[in-house]
Chain A
Amino acid sequence: MSRPSSDRDVPGTLIGFEDVALGYRRRAVLSSLTFAVHENEFFGIVGANGSGKTTILRAMLGILVPLRGRIRYAGGATRRRFGYVPQRAFVDELFPLTALDIVLMGRYGLLPAGRRPGERDRRIAVEQLAHAGIGDLAASRFRDLSGGQKQRVLFARALASEPRVLLMDEPTDGMDLAGQQAILDLITRLRSETGITVVYVTHRLNELANFADRLLLLHDDRLRVGTVGELLTPAVLHEMYGVDARVERVAGRRVIVT
């Protein structure tokens, strides 16, 4: 890995990776990861399939334990509160669960072991379904929903956990342009309403060019962390991807043209 950022001591750091190595079966696939996610920012992790971006996300979530180094959470691990939107393809459709059943699971982490969700939990789950624009699908079975509707259910579940950080893994994968835009608009609206921190994993750099505050770019053995303005330049894109790319503005929005 080259050029790790050194912003771990910036005030407002929410999640700090300190010289972290990640991998499977004791074999590191990513090493020397040193970067931070700051409070209230939209942090994008961009890389091709197999580049390790989901591995980083899993480590942030505590699903994957680092082989080396340390991941620090503001206020300690016990005070972290995540909302997680996994890849839709990884959600098991064999379970005959309704949209409401799944959104209610977002409340489970807030309840003590052995306590079932109550009226308040149900109300919050219903509200989040409505917030995600699918309030009328509460009783529908998850497996019968369209791809976009399923994504919104997972989004609503993440919000039902009242998160400080919303972590999303390829939330628009397999969706058409309208579906992608609808999800990004939902996130934008949520951020303007709550100022929530967002960590967003995707393989499409253009998708985040106009939404993210900072980016972590992963490609082969190269890694760069910086603001969108710092990274979306012809020089950095050439260094990372070996292509001659321009960043142009169309109707006030950044577009990467190769």
Chain B
Amino acid sequence: MSKLLEMFQQGFMIDVLAGTTIVAALCSYLGVFIILRRAVFVGAALAQVSSLGVALALFATGAIERWWDVHLHIAPQPMAVALTLAAAVAMAIQHKEARLPRETVVGITYVAASGLAILVVAMSTHAESEVLNLLFGNVLAIGRGEVAALAVLAVAVGAVHWRFYKEFLFVSFDPDTATALGLPARAWNVALFLTIGLTISLAIRAAGALVVFDFLVLPAATALLLKGSLRVAFTGAVVAGVASSVAGISISYLADLPTGPTIVAVSTSLLVAVAVAMRNG
């Protein structure tokens, strides 16, 4: 107990808790859309595209310096965001009549982005640990600035979803009828995927790919096991995500375990517990 109190007295742990909780709440909410749209691997693919953006920025900075002897810092984050948003738009507007199914395109994107990111990192002049940290994030490295950035992101994405919830729901549930009733379904799909892409690219730098993907899938899956309305699913997902985040960080601190995998273990346990309870209930 005293060790738990000690955790809350440490400034950096408060930042870690705050940052991870924001990521958990936002990703868990968006995860409901992602699961209902059967687009779980879109999240994984966008995460890899975001990493590729970081790797490309680092590589470009080093290459320009080496080849032209000019120090031009290309910021990894904007590059990651830009590339992720472009991929999110491409996935949102992929035509129903495309020759390859969307899941195949998502798989190709995932593999291509992962491989390219590793290749680009191998050619980069930056220290490996620096690159890995930028690529995969680290929950325990979340600082005050990142918490503030994540809070701004949460408010912006939350405001867009609060205002346009009905449009996002309609084009996700029944895009044909939405089009027939006059809604620009493709534009709303793009807007929804942009919020998902932006969230993934910023969240992944803070919390890492494993934790972000966990929050995008497990809390929403847990909530959707409950036999409630869509509102229950969204609320339940956010509650499950935040609970997993706080419990995971606390357990990892107390037991001196790696934080990301502990969060995943907690959210998986929650999912299994709810599944068993629903089956027996």
Contact = CB atoms under 8 A, between A and B. Distances in A.
Given A63-B180, A84-B181, A98-B229, A105 B174 contact: yes
B149 to A, nearest CB: 26
B8 interface: no
A109 B178 CA distance: 7
Contact of A114 (B99, B163, B232): B163
Nearest to A158: B177
Contact of B164 (A86, A94, A97, A113): A113
B99 A108 contact: no
Interface string B179-221: 1111100000000000000000000000000000000000000
A96 B181 contact: no
Given A98-B229, A114-B164, A84 B170 contact: no
A113 B167 contact: yes
Contacts of A161: 181
How many chain A residues sit at the interface, stated as a range, is 20 to 34
A145 interface: no
B224 interface: yes
Interface in A17-68: 24-25, 58, 61-63
B281 interface: no
Contacts of B163: 114
Contacts, number: 75
B177 A101 contact: no
Interface string B28-62: 00000000101000000000000000000000000
Which of A82, A95, A114 is packed against the most chain B CB atoms within 10 Å? A95
A45 to B, nearest CB: 16
Interface string A64-98: 00000000000000000010101000111011111
Chain A binding surface, main DSSP class: loop
B166 interface: yes
A167 B232 CA distance: 33
B39 to A, nearest CB: 12
Contacts of B165: 116
A16 interface: no
Nearest to A154: B177
Nearest to B183: A109
Given A92-B174, A101-B230, A84 B97 contact: no
B109 to A, nearest CB: 21
A96 B173 contact: no
Contacts of B179: 61-63
A12 B193 CA distance: 42
B228 interface: yes
Contact of A86 (B97, B176, B232, B233): B176
Nearest to B233: A96
A61 B97 contact: no
B176 A61 contact: yes
Interface in A97-145: 97-98, 101, 105-106, 108-109, 111, 113-114, 116-117, 141
Nearest to B175: A63
Given A24-B97, A116-B166, A94 B36 contact: yes
Contact of A97 (B167, B173, B183): B173
A82 B97 contact: no
A161 B181 CA distance: 8
Contacts of A116: 165-166
Contact of A84 (B166, B169, B177): B177
B166 A95 contact: no
B227 to A, nearest CB: 8
A114 B183 CA distance: 12
A167 B183 CA distance: 17
Contact of B166 (A61, A62, A90, A111): A111
6 contacts: A25-B99, A82-B180, A95-B172, A95-B230, A101-B229, A113-B167
Given A82-B180, A95-B36, A96-B230, 8 more contacts: A84-B177, A86-B176, A94-B38, A95-B230, A97-B230, A108-B178, A113-B167, A167-B180
Interface pairs A-B: 8 shortest CB-CB: A109-B181, A61-B180, A84-B180, A109-B182, A114-B163, A24-B97, A63-B179, A25-B97
